[in-house]
Amino acid sequence: MGKLILFFFLINILSVKAFNPDNIFQDDLTLFDSLNINLSGQAHSVRDKEDFTLFLTDPSQKVSDDFAVPTALMDRVRFWFNVYTKYTSHFSVIHDIDNLGIIYDVIDFSDVVSNISNRNTRYAIQNKSLKSIIKEYKSSFSSLSKGKCNTEKCLRILSALDKAKVKIPKKGRKQFFLNLRNKVRTQTGQHDHIRQGLVNIDGYNESIEHLFKVFDLPHELLAVSFLESSFNIHAESKVGATGPWQFMRVIGKHFMKINRNVDQRRSAVLSTAAALHLLKQNKKIMKTWDLAVNAYNSGTGLLRRGVKSLYKKGFKNPRVEHLIDHFQHRNWGFAAKNFYSEFLALVYTLAYRDEILQQKFNLKDGDLDIYLTKCKLPLVKLISTLKSSKHNILRVNNHLKRSRATYPKGTVLISDVNLTSRKYLKIPHNKLKSYYPKNLYKLVAKERCR
């Protein structure tokens, strides 16, 4: 009876506060506090999970030589590869923020959060528990700085340093451990997000493959969209980055139509075309793929500044690994420094997904066609003409935001059924190489609606 009361109490909280995630976190945490659950005591370390890092050597030669893992980045790439392949979001890796080869612990919160369906609530509870564990680690670093080590956490720290071949200095020991204490970071596992990404891209795969061929760009670049959002067309960050490729509004408007009724960033097909335009431009500016990919996150301006500074220091061919070690800028932080390493880790995760995820992903065929309207039409009428047995037609036209709006001539529609040429102009995918998605409307300027 008590469990039943608790269940209805939780339902009532979630229904009342459904429009305020912060309140959801607060109320659920308050409830768990009232039950006196010892969260940190229920978390435990995991060991002996299967190691897939052999795939980083590309044993079946599935990855282009352009994206071979540089020796200098191997520790970073290996770290992120494990995050994507070994650990789900129920796991947290405790590590050093600079040397990703130093792994202090991997905490499994499965027992704590397995019965909680709300993802945000699980994250909040896991995060609260993790703060307690990190506090213990920081206390252990302080003890080690004083020459003391009488806890399990101290032994884990020493073991992690030894495994990473980091020597403890005889002089300056105190400052050494205090510096490490200030560089402790946690990373949530992403295995389940990658699996979900393969679900998200299902149905778009053939169209996206077609676009990569049209643009003559390496398919490995698809990993950028998995890094950004796990190819979630509904994704929107706190700062307004939107769609599977997470375009900010200011950059997105350069390539795509974004207004009250349309946001082409939300389209799997149109945003992919825009991303390929951007990546191709980055490559032209930065010359190498490592810098071009990193510029997707940092911008070409910052990276050109970094490359210029390294030229002055005597570097003849600056690469990402050189920038990590020798470039300093307030915008060149942890996320920027690790973007290319994360990308490489995802390239190999996707290349060997069947072996790693131990599941065969046969992504659906069915190329999606691109149409432009020759008439001004209400969305209700547009959608009524788009019938499909292979796709959710509203989903593939996710860029059309307002159901009651009337859309102008030149509106882009995605369909896998033939539309009448009296009202719609079918355009080949290669037009997306010649025109930014926002400019496709020009192709129907002289067309008449009949």
Range with the lowest mean pLDDT among 30-44, 226-240, 382-396?
A: 30-44
What's the rounded mean pLDDT across residues 394-421?
Answer: 87
Q: What is the distance between the alpha carbons of residues 159 and 162, in angstroms, rounded to a whole number?
A: 5
Residues paired with 185 in a beta bridge:
95
Q: What is the distance between the alpha carbons of residues 440 and 430, in angstroms, rounded to a whole number?
A: 12
**Widest CA span in the chain:** 85
Q: What is this structure's pTM?
A: 0.86
Range with the lowest mean pLDDT among 46-50, 73-77, 317-321, 423-427?
A: 46-50
Q: What is the pLDDT of residues 39-95, one digit of tens each?
A: 444 444 444 456 788 999 999 999 999 999 999 999 999 999 999 999 998 899 999
246 has a pLDDT exceeding 90: yes
Confidence of residue 361 (pLDDT cuts 50, 70, 90): low
Confidence of residue 417 (pLDDT cuts 50, 70, 90): confident
33 has a pLDDT exceeding 90: no
Asked if 246 and 235 count as a contact pair (C-beta separation under 8 A), the reply is yes
Q: What is the pLDDT of residues 94-125, one digit of tens each?
A: 999 999 999 999 999 887 777 777 777 877 88
List C-alpha distances in Å: 90 to 110, 138, 416: 5, 22, 38
Residue 15: per-residue pLDDT: 37
363 has a pLDDT exceeding 80: no
Q: What is the pLDDT of residues 211-223, one digit of tens each?
A: 999 999 999 999 9
Name the percent of the chain lying above pLDDT 90: 67
Range with the lowest mean pLDDT among 22-36, 311-325, 358-372, 429-443?
A: 22-36
Range with the lowest mean pLDDT among 359-368, 380-389, 395-404?
A: 359-368
37 has a pLDDT exceeding 70: no
Half-sphere exposure of 40 (CA within 13 A, CB side): 10
> Which H/E stretch holds residue 354?
helix 353-357
Tokens, residue 248:
């900010």
Tokens, residue 195:
């699996």
Residue 385: per-residue pLDDT: 67
Q: What is the pLDDT of residues 265-287, one digit of tens each?
A: 999 999 999 999 999 999 999 99
Residue 389: per-residue pLDDT: 55
List C-alpha distances in Å: 122 to 29, 88, 115, 128, 238: 10, 13, 9, 10, 19
Residue 51: per-residue pLDDT: 77
What's the rounded mean pLDDT across residues 347-352?
Answer: 97
Q: CB under 8 Å to 121, separation ≥6 — which residues?
A: 24, 25, 28
Average pLDDT taken over every residue of the chain:
86
> Which H/E stretch holds residue 348?
helix 334-351
Residue 14: per-residue pLDDT: 38
What's the rounded mean pLDDT across residues 141-163?
Answer: 93
